[in-house]
Amino acid sequence: MCELCTKHGDGKIWYKNAKNYANDLVSDLRRRQYVQNFLEGTIGEGMSSLGRLETIFGKKKKLPDRLVSAMVTKAKEEHFGQVVPIEDIRTIIEKAATVVRMPCACRWAADRKEKRCCYSVSYSPETWHDNLNMSYFGKASNEGFETLTGNEAIAQMESLEEEGAIHTIWTMVTPFIGAICNCTSHDCLGLRTLAMHVETLSKGEYVAQIDPELCNGCGGCESVCQFDAISRQVVSGDPIAVVNRSKCYGCGLCCSHCPQGAMRLVGNSVVDMVRNPIKSATHSI
């Protein structure tokens, strides 16, 4: 069980605990102020310091321990993420009750391109309209939001997964779950930070597992995995995918991109198998 589940799960996975979407969390003044300053502060300023950090990391291959520790502590208090497969995103959407789509703040910060793949959940749509300052995107304060049904949001996120995005959830002052994001390692502030071994985004609750009898070694899973967790090995003269469990973040992208249905997700702790219930197979390392 991860730290968030222990502190905020009440015996469940923390993001399945309805308390973490509760409307009374919205009345917390610190949280409201955090949300108001979120786009310019957390994302805008985070993206401008990212370049400096990547330069240091590129030269020294690591960031100073004290800095890493401070970044992770701050993230755990304010804006912490976790990778979540689409099956559990469905559960979150049901608990969150309201969904508002808006442009992706990281992609906008990185190259001023608008891609609408960020989903604000919980609160009410009006509260998001009132709290987030959309001038960050060069828009009027109430422009750029769309209220969606849960089914509409899920269908869009399934398409984003087909394009290669992974789903992540983020707190807006922990433990309030305020955002579901659809990210790629190229664009996402969180994934780029993780690439420097700063864990402001935690692994999912699952790991991928391969069925060697179904795998034909095509490499589709390897090419979509954003965590470099899949390689191919030759076994008895045939190529086969192999999952490195210690690198796997449990996003499920390899499952949805496998034409053979040879990948599934299995629970790594408190949860059980969620995808492709195929017979037992253990071709992972």
Q: Which residues bind ligand SF4 (CB under 6 A)?
A: 104-107, 117-118, 168, 181-183, 187-190, 208, 210, 215-221, 225, 227, 229-230, 241, 243, 248-254, 258, 260, 262-263
Q: Residue 59 Cβ, how far from ligand SF4 at the closest point, in Å?
A: 26
Q: Least CB distance from residue 201 to ligand SF4, whole Å?
A: 9
CA–CA separation, 38 and 79 (whole Å):
10
For residues 181 and 170, the answer to whether their CB atoms sit within 8 Å is yes
Q: Where are the beta strands (DSSP E) in 140-205?
A: 146-148, 166-171, 177-183, 201-202
* Nearest Cα to Cα of residue 179 among 21, 17, 7: 21
CB of 168 to ligand SF4, least distance (A): 6
| Least Å from the CB of residue 178 to ligand SF4 | 11
Q: Which is nearer to ligand SF4, 188 or 271 (CB)?
A: 188
Contact between residue 117 and residue 104 where contact means Cβ atoms under 8 Å apart: yes
The CA distance from 131 to 142, in Å, is: 10
For ligand SF4, the closer CB: 243 or 271: 243
Q: How many CA atoms lie within 13 A of 208 on its CB side?
A: 31
Task: Identify which of residues 19 and 232 has a Cβ nearer to ligand SF4 in the complex.
Answer: 232
Nearer to ligand SF4, 94 or 228 (CB): 228
Is the CB of 68 or the CB of 194 nearer to ligand SF4? Answer: 194
Shortest Cβ 79–ligand SF4 spacing (Å): 10
